[in-house]
Chains A and B, each alone.
Chain A
Amino acid sequence: MDKLKNNIIQSDGLKAPVIRIGALQWIRSNLFNGVFNSILTIVTLLLLYKVVPPFIKWAFIDSFWFSTAKECSAGDGACWSIIPANIRFIIFGFYPHELHWRPLLAMIMMVGLILYCKNRDHWKKSLIYIWIAGLIIMGLLMKGGLFGLTSVDSDQWGGLPLTLMLSVFGMVAAYPLGIVLALGRRSKMPAVKTVCIIYIELIRGVPLISLLFMSAILFPLFFPQGVTINKIIRAQAAIIMFTAAYIAEVVRGGLQAITRGQYEAAESLGLNYAQKMRLVILPQALKIVIPPTVGILISAFKDTSLVVIIALYEILKTTRTALADPAWMGFSPEAYIFVALIYFVCCYTMSNYSRRLEKELHS
């Protein structure tokens, strides 16, 4: 008995052994453990040697940052000058030049609102009113026509504000719509269920491009002559409908992961359907599906670039238009890298935030 006691006390003092290995040891055991891995390591190193130094030379050493197109053509390096020279067109498209401060202010407001929403302490009812007020002001800034602001036709909207608008509204509207569709698909009412299934399967069965075409060409046919609906709104509707169908299926997966016991416990307390879903089931289900949901939102963000096929000038299209200028021909990689960076920053922020949110909600 005493011995046993001693053993327990002794084992309390023991810790898991710490295994330390040196750099050489690490290289040997991770990069050169066997013939095949050794060959792979050498080939990879060779490739990196061939690619990385020339790229750095091109992008940073021989490059031009604020030159004319002519100087660029003479040199060998990257011509980043294409970006400062065309930045206002790339960002704002055909929006009247002297009014660029308005979309800029609208974008800053939107980014500010989004950053404000990142903090979960701010998730209160008042947030809805803040957003509504923000949207009205942003719309006013973009459109004008009131308070002495010159009216700008929505045909002239383009570039980054358009991309942000299509994606942020797309996500914000598609998310609740997707939840409603997911709940509908699991409904006990046959009519509701059938409608939701048909909607989800139909939308998921066609590419976004065809939806955009339909919104641009087919919808106007259904309206009486003279009635036109703004092209941006039609594209926006198509994006919302498309994204919602995918969100719905992801949310449905989350709903199915919740055990029957949770439904029964909520029901046996006397909660009605709406309370049960809002207070008990959805908070758990939506938390589970944060990673796939963010995946869908990220791809929805990137898919906004498809609106180009109905002649909307989002940021990728304004970039290509800038490249069509004969003076800057041949410097497309630089411009595309710039746009890719903008996309990357947005997507990476989203994915980062989703991971933080998951951690915060983890209980």
Chain B
Amino acid sequence: MISEATKNSIERSSEDKIIEIIDMNKWFGDFHVLVDINLTVYKGERIVICGPSGSGKSTLIRCINRLEEHQKGKIIVDGIELTGNLKNIEKIREEVGMVFQHFNLFPHLTILENLSLGPIWVRKVPKKEAEETAMYYLEKVHIAEQANKYPGQLSGGQQQRVAIARSLCMKPKVMLFDEPTSALDPEMVKEVLDVMINLAKEGMTMIVVSHEMGFAKSVAHRVLFMDFGQIVEENTPHEFFDNPQHDRTKLFLSQILH
């Protein structure tokens, strides 16, 4: 649990903006997936995004490291605006870690190689140093003894922890989580959430698409509810769960909390 006091200690001055999304729109063909999105994320802030499936929450965070391209509006990450400029996109991706629903580890590489690949080739870190960093993060996610195995030999929960460690090895400024626990067997959800909570305690800036309401309550500064490509409601977790303002939020919460 993270106390309310530390949660509210985020300084919101303009220099501390890490992500700024201004009037962003996106279409898939004729389908308007994201409508006039405005969102500012400050350093050290943790945001949980929830909403029904197809509401555009995954697409939103995938736009932040340009796995998806937006068609209107602005996205500024770490002071760099996302445009077609490949060099800028690569620079932003170096600073933004991403964890996927289906882990997406590289099956032909060992766990250690999975972790050191990015630092060696993108950050140009010497191999030995990259492997030391990799071992450090593997220990952090309690999986160091698996370093020389291949991803296929690990359980889902272990794979997801490796995936988190892989992103951390790049020493990112922001971490994006795209439904990190929804492909896991129920008994493995906790081990992954524990890793994420520890990360939060260390002050990592995180945007998490998730329906883990317990996680949202204990870790998030803000919870966003999305529906039909719009941010419908945005509030502190306390207010969001106990006193939802919007009818659609109420309906959604009643459906997921039973």
Contact = CB atoms under 8 A, between A and B. Distances in A.
Given A261-B100, A363-B150, A363-B152, A269 B118 contact: yes
B117 A279 contact: yes
A287 B108 contact: yes
Nearest to B166: A269
A284 interface: yes
A265 B108 contact: no
Interface size class, chain A:
20 to 34
A363 B118 contact: no
Interface string B114-128: 000110011000000
Contact of A268 (B93, B102, B108, B121): B93
A363 B94 contact: no
A116 B233 CA distance: 66
A361 B152 CA distance: 14
B121 A271 contact: yes
A298 interface: no
B96 interface: yes
A264 interface: yes
B93 A283 contact: no
Interface string A251-274: 000000001011011111111100
B28 to A, nearest CB: 15
Contact of B108 (A267, A269, A272, A284): A284
Contacts of B112: none
A41 B152 CA distance: 46
B97 interface: yes
A280 interface: yes
Contact of B170 (A266, A269, A363): A269
A233 B93 CA distance: 47
A194 interface: no
B252 interface: no
A280 B152 CA distance: 16
Contacts, number: 62
Contacts of B106: 262, 265-266, 280, 284
A166 B167 CA distance: 47
B108 A264 contact: no
A268 B98 contact: yes
B67 A271 contact: no
Given A261-B102, A363-B152, A268 B107 contact: no
A251 to B, nearest CB: 16
B71 interface: no
B97 A268 contact: yes
B94 to A, nearest CB: 4
A287 B109 CA distance: 13
B245 interface: no
A357 to B, nearest CB: 14
B90 A272 contact: yes
Contact of A284 (B107, B152, B167): B107
B141 interface: no
A192 B14 CA distance: 44
B24 to A, nearest CB: 19
A29 interface: no
Contact of B105 (A265, A270, A279): A265
A268 B96 contact: yes
Contacts of A299: none
Contacts of B105: 265
B94 A264 contact: no
Interface in B142-188: 150, 152, 166-167, 170
A210 interface: no
Nearest to B98: A268
Contacts of B96: 268
B100 A283 contact: no
| A269, A279, A363: most-surrounded residue (chain B CB, <10 A) | A269
A361 B108 CA distance: 8
A363 B93 contact: no
Nearest to B169: A269
Contacts of B91: 270
Nearest to B120: A279
Contact of A261 (B97, B104, B117, B167): B104
A143 to B, nearest CB: 42
Nearest to A278: B121
Given A268-B65, A268-B67, A275-B121, A262 B104 contact: yes
21 contacts: A259-B104, A261-B104, A262-B104, A264-B67, A264-B104, A266-B106, A267-B65, A267-B93, A269-B118, A269-B167, A270-B94, A270-B118, A270-B122, A271-B117, A271-B122, A272-B90, A275-B122, A280-B117, A283-B108, A284-B107, A287-B108
Interface of A: 259, 261-262, 264-272, 275, 279-280, 283-284, 287, 361, 363
- What are the nearest 9 A-B pairs in CB distance? A265-B104, A269-B118, A261-B104, A270-B93, A270-B94, A268-B98, A270-B122, A363-B150, A283-B108
Given A275-B121, A279-B121, A287-B108, 17 more contacts: A261-B104, A264-B67, A267-B65, A268-B65, A268-B93, A268-B96, A269-B166, A269-B167, A269-B170, A270-B170, A271-B122, A272-B86, A275-B122, A283-B108, A284-B108, A361-B108, A363-B107
